[in-house]
Chains A and B, each alone.
Chain A
Amino acid sequence: MAMTDKQQTFSHDDDSVVVVIGSGAGGGTLANELAQQGIDVVVLEAGALHTRSDFLADEWASFAQLAWLDTRTTSGSWRLARDFPNLPAWIVKAVGGTTVHWAGASLRFQPHEFAALSTYGEVDGANLLDWPLTYDDLAPYYDRAEKRMGVTRTNDNKGLPGNNNFKVMYAGAQKMGYSCNTGHMAINSENRDGRAACQQRGFCFQGCKTGAKWSTLYTELPEGIVTGHLELRPESHVARIEHDDGGRVNAVVYFDAEGREQRQKARLVAVAGNSIETPRLLLNSESSRFPDGLANGSGQVGRNYMRHMTGSVYATFDEPVHMYKGTTMAGIISDESHHDPARGFVGGYEMETLALGLPFMAAFLDPGAWGPRFAGAMDQYAHMAGMWLVGEDLPQQSNRVTLNPEVKDRFGLPVANVHYDDHLNDIAMRDHGYRQGAELYRSVGAKDIYEVPPYPSTHNLGTCRMSERPEDGVCDAYGRAHEIPNLFISDGSQFTTSAAENPTLTIVSLAIRQAEHIGHLMQQGEV
């Protein structure tokens, strides 16, 4: 029996419903939070419904099943544009969004990261801005999110047990004077919330078959459906958002599973299509009243695209590691996440273990490589340990999502082009991370070190950013579009700056806060 079989359904002409576009960390959480308040919600998810039993213990097959593969184009000097020109992002097209794929790391932003401009000062070429909310504003919602998601090392949830990859990181951390533990993870370390404890499968990226890892797919969405106030429509790809003569959004046009155009009327629209599709949708919704796209009076829709400073360090050892056994992200070091400009850059980064299977190691270790050096690295696969660096990249006006007029999708709409150039700050931070990671592994006997370039971006942020002043961004501190009172941004597009931490916990917390605010606005008759 499918999750949607007995759900309450709403008429396309019911203009009292909230339409949420996207069912991931932002959309799925928002939809459930609204439904719990008795507000009727229709969730339009472009992807199909895959349940836990559909998930595959096979990297490439899973990728074909879950990944967002609709065409995108790329430009800019980033290496991805050369190595993966049509795959700027590795995110999910399925019910649950990227919460199906994510590794579970759930770290709060640090207080100063909400005030990046004030803390770092102006940086040439960067478009830094303070968030229009503070850590203290979000703290109560971080609390709720951590409880909801079952984050380890909060609320008496004990830490997950460390695998071999963690053991190597931990030993190196000791030598470096770093603190290291098995992380704040939204993965059950015990049976909890009606879901099993982690079985250390190591296929976190391929969907958690046991449900130990939090995902809206089997938490928020079914809970919302049970209230009778949430209808989930998978395989519903939104093409356009429409508005009335007063400039308020009033309907969403989408293509259903059979490719037929449908129109759902709406009282309020929340866009949570992840940070490439969300601005694309607003840009494709241009009209005579909004000639530059919906909510784009500031020109900032699509701009300030951030993907975090990322990179990986893999190291080989005389003894085997078998890092693929157990959780993909098994340990975290936060000692470099603070702001310390003496290192040569502003902002900081986290160091998080990361394991890839043999197939993905071949694909991502050194894209395009061949010959004895590459083959020699692969020969040592079973003796590899590895970590992923994730740090704050700087927003730049020219890093942006735009419509590509020359490439159309299967519905005839222009696809998104993602342009990105590293800022010098990003490069300096990455180099520092590579050096620290290499030193960590060498301190425990590493033979060879491999510096791996950024993967297709799993963290995509900032393209409809929050701002105090309308001219600096797209939405306010609640994700409400400056220009359109009943249009909300509900995903990582809201992020004013990227911070060092993985974004999901913050996206969920913002969604809980946004839902509460929408409830107040409705009670006050404002939306």
Chain B
Amino acid sequence: MSSPTLSRRVFLKGSGGVLAGTLAFAGGPIALLAPSRSWAMPLDTLSTRQGEVLLEVAKQMFPHPGLEDAVYAHVVKSLDAKAEAGDVHTLLHDGIKALDDASGGDWLGQDEATRLARLSAMANTPFFQAIRGDAVVSLYDNDLAYAHFGYGGEEGDVGYINKGFNDLTWLPDPPKPDGGYLPTEPVG
């Protein structure tokens, strides 16, 4: 796949692109939640290609087999918002350019192993750390991620006392009094 290299003119225009995709895992928890299998995420600051690069960076930083691109797109969205600040925009732009430059002009066009090698070489750069620091929050702090990884999130607000807080059956139930008592359970 070849992609156009960034031109300074495009950067200065500050065009907001769009990130789009299709859910890959038909029976997965996210497909079951989603209204359709197609998704699109408009970007306010980053270009489409910048969004595509950052999506692939996030996927290589935090490789989860079976995790939909739609979840990784949350990272791109978060970085897009941060890029409203000029210094962040420059950091991301320059870092993506460095990835491209190290890849003969098009990082996205390389195979997976080469892309990972180029990316890993930048692991100690502010560009890499800015993405990592954002992604470790944004990737795991959204409802789609909760559904994928099996975390209840806000569902716990009403309490799990009647929703399986102690429903594990692969170990024996601890005896009383060590195991404690439900609110209405008398002390025997």
A residues adjacent to B (C-beta < 8 A): 57-60, 152, 158-164, 166-168, 170-171, 179-182, 189-191, 197-203, 209-210, 317, 319-322, 324-326, 357-359, 361-363, 368, 370-372, 374-375, 378-379, 381-382, 444
The smallest beta-carbon distance between B57 and chain A, in angstroms, is: 10
- Are A197 and B183 also in contact (CB < 8 A) when A164-B165, A359-B137 are? yes
Mark contacts of B76-117 with chain A using CB atoms, 8 A cut-off: 1 yes-contact digit, 0 otherwise. Answer: 000000000000000000000000000000000000000000
Identify the closest chain A residue to B155 (Cβ): A57
User: Per DSSP, are chain A's interface residues mostly helix, strand or loop, or mixed?
Assistant: loop
Give every chain A residue within 8 A of B7 (Cβ-Cβ): none
In the bound complex, CA of A382 to CA of B150 (Å): 5
Interface pair A60/B137, CB less than 8 Å apart: yes
Interface pair A375/B64, CB less than 8 Å apart: yes
The smallest beta-carbon distance between A130 and chain B, in angstroms, is: 34
In the bound complex, CA of A506 to CA of B179 (Å): 25
Interface pair A371/B137, CB less than 8 Å apart: no
Identify the closest chain B residue to A358 (Cβ): B151
CB of B11 within 8 A of chain A?
no
**Chain B contacts with A in 132-188, Cβ cutoff 8 A:** 132, 136-137, 139-141, 145-146, 149-154, 156-161, 163-168, 170-174, 177-183, 185, 187
Instruction: Give 9 A-B pairs besides A166-B174, A359-B141 with Cβ atoms closer than 8 angstroms.
Output: A159-B178, A198-B161, A319-B168, A319-B170, A326-B161, A358-B146, A358-B151, A375-B62, A378-B64
Interface pair A322/B164, CB less than 8 Å apart: yes
Closest A-B pairs by Cβ, 10 of them: A199-B159, A382-B150, A159-B180, A326-B165, A197-B183, A358-B151, A182-B180, A181-B178, A362-B140, A57-B157
CB of B4 within 8 A of chain A?
no
- Are A163 and B166 also in contact (CB < 8 A) when A189-B183, A202-B156 are? yes
Interface pair A362/B158, CB less than 8 Å apart: no
Give every chain A residue within 8 A of B180 (Cβ-Cβ): 152, 158-162, 181-182, 189
In the bound complex, CA of A320 to CA of B151 (Å): 11
In the bound complex, CA of A252 to CA of B157 (Å): 40
Give every chain A residue within 8 A of B31 (Cβ-Cβ): none
The smallest beta-carbon distance between B70 and chain A, in angstroms, is: 17
**Which residue among B153, B165, B171 has the maximum number of chain A CB atoms within 10 Å of its CB?**
B165
In the bound complex, CA of A375 to CA of B66 (Å): 12
CB of B24 within 8 A of chain A?
no
In the bound complex, CA of A372 to CA of B59 (Å): 10
Q: Which residue of the partner chain, among A161, A191, A382, contacts B182 with CB atoms under 8 Å?
A: A161
What is the size category of the interface that chain B forms with chain A? 35 or more
In the bound complex, CA of A54 to CA of B21 (Å): 37
Interface pair A325/B181, CB less than 8 Å apart: no
Give every chain A residue within 8 A of B178 (Cβ-Cβ): 159, 162, 170, 179-182
- Are A200 and B63 also in contact (CB < 8 A) when A60-B141, A359-B140 are? no
The smallest beta-carbon distance between A182 and chain B, in angstroms, is: 4
- Are A158 and B157 also in contact (CB < 8 A) when A170-B179, A180-B178, A358-B140 are? no
Give every chain B residue within 8 A of A158 (Cβ-Cβ): 177, 180-181, 187
Identify the closest chain B residue to A197 (Cβ): B183
Identify the closest chain A residue to B161 (Cβ): A200
CB of B61 within 8 A of chain A?
yes
In the bound complex, CA of A323 to CA of B180 (Å): 17
Interface pair A167/B173, CB less than 8 Å apart: yes
Identify the closest chain A residue to B149 (Cβ): A381
Give every chain A residue within 8 A of B167 (Cβ-Cβ): 164, 322
In the bound complex, CA of A238 to CA of B116 (Å): 51
- Are A57 and B168 also in contact (CB < 8 A) when A167-B173, A363-B137 are? no
